[in-house]
Structure 1
């Protein structure tokens, strides 16, 4: 007989005679019954699922720890800023003068108060204004 033929299933050589015959043989010589192979595959699948869920939990915890460290660093740099509701600074809007139209441009306005914008002629007024402005 050639040596490549599998051993006979009629002569069980296991220690437990009530065990099902191991008639599936691998290339390495390992023999098992199909139900044993299915049970091993299910156990392996359960182990892989458990390992994957543990890995997902570790990654989630790792990312949460990174976020907590970044938040702590931001709070260290600007204490109280992250805890307040005022996040964006916007300039206060002022109401337009009552005589202007809402869509009108400032450049289109009439020039009624041009004397107030012209510099004063006297030198004392300019000097006193400089003293008031710069002390």
Structure 2
């Protein structure tokens, strides 16, 4: 190897020829073999290829990854911007779809509440107040008018007389 000579130790190893090992031979080319052109011919359709434009000539790919992939820095930046645009579009679509889903859930919930309590959600008053009944409304079909106290009787509170309270609540049960 030094000065065109091989290593002295390798010169001492005899070479043997094995009948079982055949060395590769040169391939013979076909008689109609033609070399490939270095550039593609122009399109027969009249469409200009990207390589026809001198501004779009391939840029030197001097950024080389560990896997052996090579690219120009502008190509890398363009692919990163395209990826960022794609991710932001996907995020906007997902947020829009989430808002639509939330609106559908709220509409379904509102429809269920209106089914259970119709008219309740249609007005702004949210406090239920019972209407006070007048004495004419309290005396219905089966109710007995209250007896007027006699002058000799003491006027006790109605809560002590449980029978009278029951008669007022459920109507009188007059004996015949």
Structure-1-length-normalised TM-score: 0.58
Query: Where does residue 40 of structure 1 map in the other structure?
Result: 79
SS class of match (1:88): coil
3-state DSSP of counterpart to 1:49 = helix
Structure 2 unaligned blocks of 5 or more: 1-38, 41-50, 132-153
Corresponding residue pairs, total? 94
Work out whether 1:59 is the aligned partner of 2:98.
yes
**1:22-48 deviation line (CA, Å, top 9, x unaligned):** 000111211100000000000000000
The within-5 A match list for 1:6-21 is 18-21=57-60
Taking a change above 3 Å as real, the CA distance of residues 45 and 130 of structure 1, as seen in their structure-2 partners, is closer
CA distance in 2, matches of 1:18, 1:118: 109
Aligned position for 1:83: 122
CA distances 1:85-105 after superposition (whole Å, capped 9, x unpaired): 22112468xxxxxxxxxxxxx
Structure (1 or 2) with the larger CA radius of gyration: 2
Residue 111 of structure 2: aligned partner: 72
In 2, Cα distance between the equivalents of 1:52 and 1:83? 36
Q: How much is the aligned-residue C-alpha RMSD, in angstroms?
A: 3.2
Q: State the Cα distance separating 1:117 from its structure 2 match.
A: 2.9
* TM-score (norm: length of structure 2): 0.45
Measured in 2, the distance between the counterparts of 1:81 and 1:42 equals 53
For structure 1, the 5+ residue unaligned runs are 1-13, 93-114, 120-125
